[in-house]
Amino acid sequence: MEKKNGGKIQLSPPQLLVVVFLFSIVIGTFFLKLPFSTKEPISWIDALFTATSAMTVTGLVTVDPGTVFTPFGQLVIAFLIQIGGLGIMSFAVLIIMVLGKKIGIKERILIQYQLNQTSIGGVIRLVKYLFIFSFLIEFVAMLILSIKWVPQFGWEKGLFYSFFHAISAYNNAGFALWKDNLMQFVGDPVVILVISFLFILGGIGFPVLVDIWTKKSFKKLSLHTKIMIIGTLIVNAAATVFILLIEFHNPKTLEPLTWGEKILAAYFQAVSPRTAGFNSIDIGAMEDSSLFFISLLMFIGAGSASTGGGIKLSTAIVIIFSVLAFLKGRTEINLLKRSIGASTVIRALAVTMSSIVFIIAAVLILNITERQPFLHILFEVVSAFGTTGLSAGITGSLTFIGKIIIIFMMFLGKVGSLTLLFILSSKEQQKIRYPSEDVLTG
């Protein structure tokens, strides 16, 4: 933030994005507090919590959105989810394009920061594809879900529920209009597969979808796209097997289900922590080992420039291969016949360590203010940071301070810990180079 001539404050692109994002949350809070948005009065802190959760596409709630909010309030939540998932600046650029006006360098830079791109080249094309893919995928999913839900709930409720959950799933929000989330559909392949297909597509990242659409050949895909495809398949398969083995004999989760339902439930609960936040089994009743494993999945999160949060899968993969390169005595990191630069590794470490510091601080504070088991608190904090929305059942009983901390963690998870630190710190150019010297480590 700098002052220019005339006393005007000039915001950097990250600062402007954060300000606009905060302003949208405030506006959303006021809309959710309106008398015709709720069936019963809610506090300002609960309205702020819900608005933040929707804008950050998290899904944690202190009040049940299905019973507390009216259809208008639920539409407000859906709208916040949509602009939060696809990016408020993307919508601004869409409006500019519809009006036929020229998109300037400033808007392109803002889009570059929002979508985490390395340059402004091609960002407008990316935004166009973003909206085409997103709206088309959501519309097709809504039609499929309506075939299932219209006969069950009637035309009005069935169509609205299909519309709401298609938006919530694709944007990895995890908001559901049932108190038990999607537990009643635990053995329903149509609902489970459509919802999971939506949040996997939304979480893999827009650049990946565009890359696949334009190149149509695995060999021609970028390194990032290949990493995301292979990494997503491996992590999802491994997580499904882990959840199935650990929860197989748990009478409160998988044991009462048939073999087919067990596999479907294990798959859904394995892929959902990749920032989606839906659940088809009782999260609070899962084994401690499962909760800790899911916490790791939520910390890793989805893909860069996606609707999801976390440190990102590509970040975790870069760190893992950095460690493997060191153990093999290599000074260069090789992945899929490509080398990864030192700056990428340093950024991955910075993102991971700054995220861990914020999570530790939040867990320490909540352990003081909340009377809850440590693992449940850790789970809640990581879920907020990963903008996942899964909860072990403590969200509704959080104290005022606890809600503020979780609100901050949801906001942090959306904007990114490193982005927030960049905004708060003053960046200065390094003009002096010092002699290098080794430091003993390990």
What's the pLDDT score for residue 329?
A: 87
The burial class, CB within 10 Å (0-12 / 13-18 / 19+), for 214 is exposed
Q: Domain locations in the chain?
A: 7-423
pLDDT digits (tens, 9 = 90+) for 7-35: 556 666 677 778 888 999 999 999 999 99
CA distances from 437 to 332, 349, 421, 434, 440 (A): 20, 21, 27, 9, 10
- As a whole number, the mean pLDDT across the chain is 88
pLDDT digits (tens, 9 = 90+) for 315-369: 999 999 999 998 988 888 888 888 888 888 988 998 899 999 999 999 999 999 9
> In this structure, what are the phi and psi dihedrals at residue 162, rounded to the nearest 5 degrees?
-65, -45
Q: How many residues does the chain have?
A: 442
**Would you state the structure tokens that stand for residue 130, as one six-digit string?**
């973003």
**384 has a pLDDT exceeding 80:** yes
Confidence at 110, pLDDT banded by 50, 70, 90 = low
Residues 6+ apart with CB under 8 A from 66: 74, 176, 177, 178, 179
How would you label 228-253 residue by residue, b for 16+ Cβ within 10 Å and e otherwise? bbebbeebbeebbebbbebbeebeeb
| Contact in structure between 294 and 375 (CB atoms under 8 Å) | no
pLDDT digits (tens, 9 = 90+) for 56-80: 999 999 999 999 999 999 999 999 9
Share of the chain above pLDDT 70, in %: 87
pLDDT digits (tens, 9 = 90+) for 175-213: 999 999 999 999 999 999 999 999 999 888 888 888 888
CA distances from 114 to 18, 56, 111, 213 (A): 10, 13, 5, 21
The CB-side HSE value for 401 (13 A sphere, CA atoms) comes to 10
